[in-house]
Copies of this chain bind each other. A is one copy, B any other.
Amino acid sequence: MATIKDISQMTGFSITTVSRALNGYSDVSESTRKLIKEAAESLSYSPNGLARGLVMKETKTLGLLVSGMTYKNIDNNFVFEVLCGINDSAANSAYDLILFSTNTAKQKMKTYTQLCRERKVDGVILQGVKTDDPYLQEVLDSDIPCVLIDVPIDSKYVGFVSTNHKQSAQTAVDHLIDLGHHNIAMVNGYPEAFVSKERYEGYAEAMRNAGISLRSEYVVNGNFTEEEAQQQATELLKAYPEITAIFCASDMMALGVMKAAGELGIAVPHQLSVVGFDDIPTATYFQPPLTTIRQNMYQLGHEAANLLMGMLKSEDSPKYKILENELVIRSSTAEPGR
């Protein structure tokens, strides 16, 4: 609880000199600096970040607004990987992270801007915002530097990181087409997600390029959950038994699809090929091991933090970055059988 005032009294120097000495200013003699540093040490002094932040208008904190850090998302380390990336990046600089622990009830009380301004964060990283989220508009209107994850919007104070979702989806579906599939369905997430739109675009593009006409009945939404995907896939496969392949917008949904197939007595991959998206660690262990699109979420988080810290340093720092995904072929896809 010692302050620079205490050091000042102990050493006889003014608080100004103490402050300057401790902050490495050059206009203080080495002898007094030594004295002051020793006093600080003996009083086990720590600077008060609040007071410093109050006057400096900079807190060296990055805000994190992360959806999905809750019980039901526990199996999805997607969010965790992003977090690790951000954390590692912040650890290499002087920033700490503040996690806005907000639930839907609290979200109604405090807006995005309020949250950030109260905590006086230097910048924010947003993960999991939907396109119709009211927060999104606030972000754009606000003057708080911000990086969005998987929402491609940039403006003066806003940047983003994402992956090439469309191209990746296209690659995934091309893989199915190359194997000889024609009746390819898609289990998407939900319409309010940018990534869902992009991935659908990729699916559609691949089909068009192959001269296969799109059938809207073949495309359903699984809300990114295993359960809904399983249910949707069950109905899909019952209604359209001609389907021989399903492209899913997440690995967990792919798991749901495989379970649906299993219950209907449809063998994967021999009667039905399944492709996922994400490449979660568990995907390797699925039965059969899942063919999927690998996203490097760690790197996504890492780049997000770097981008943001860059924006804080200089006006004309790059504001967005798009990473490349990669198709990982395992055993859930094969030539269409009979």
A26 within 8 A of B: no
How many copies of this chain?
A: 2
Cβ-defined contact, B46 with A54, below 8 A: no
Of the candidates B84, B101, B282, the one whose C-beta lies within 8 Å of that of A70 is: B84
Query: Is B74's CB under 8 angstroms from A120's CB?
Result: no
Contacts of A96 in B (CB 8 A): 98-101, 119
Considering only residues 87-144 of chain A, those with a C-beta below 8 Å from chain B are: 87-88, 90-92, 95-103, 106, 113-114, 117-120
Which A295-333 residues sit within 8 Å CB-CB of chain B? 298
Contacts known (A71-B84, A77-B80, A101-B87); A118 close to B53, Cβ less than 8 A: no
A83 within 8 A of B: yes
Total interface residues on A, using CB and 8 Å?
A: 52
Q: Is the CB of B98 within 8 A of A71?
A: no
Shortest beta-carbon distance from A303 to chain B in Å: 14
CA distance A70 to B97 in the complex (A): 14
A120 touches B48 (CB 8 A): yes
Task: Check: A81 CB closer than 8 A to any chain B CB.
Answer: yes
Q: How far is the CB of A288 from chain B (nearest CB, A)?
A: 11
Whether A99 pairs with B99 at a CB distance below 8 angstroms is yes
Flag whether A15 is at the interface (Cβ < 8 A).
no
Q: A46-B118, A120-B48 are in contact. Are A103 and B84 (CB under 8 A)?
A: no
B residues less than 8 Å from A44 (CB atoms): 113
One of B100, B106, B285, B298 near A287 (C-beta < 8 A)? B285
- 6 A-B pairs besides A48-B120, A91-B101, A99-B99 with CB distance below 8 A are A46-B113, A46-B117, A46-B118, A69-B84, A75-B77, A77-B80
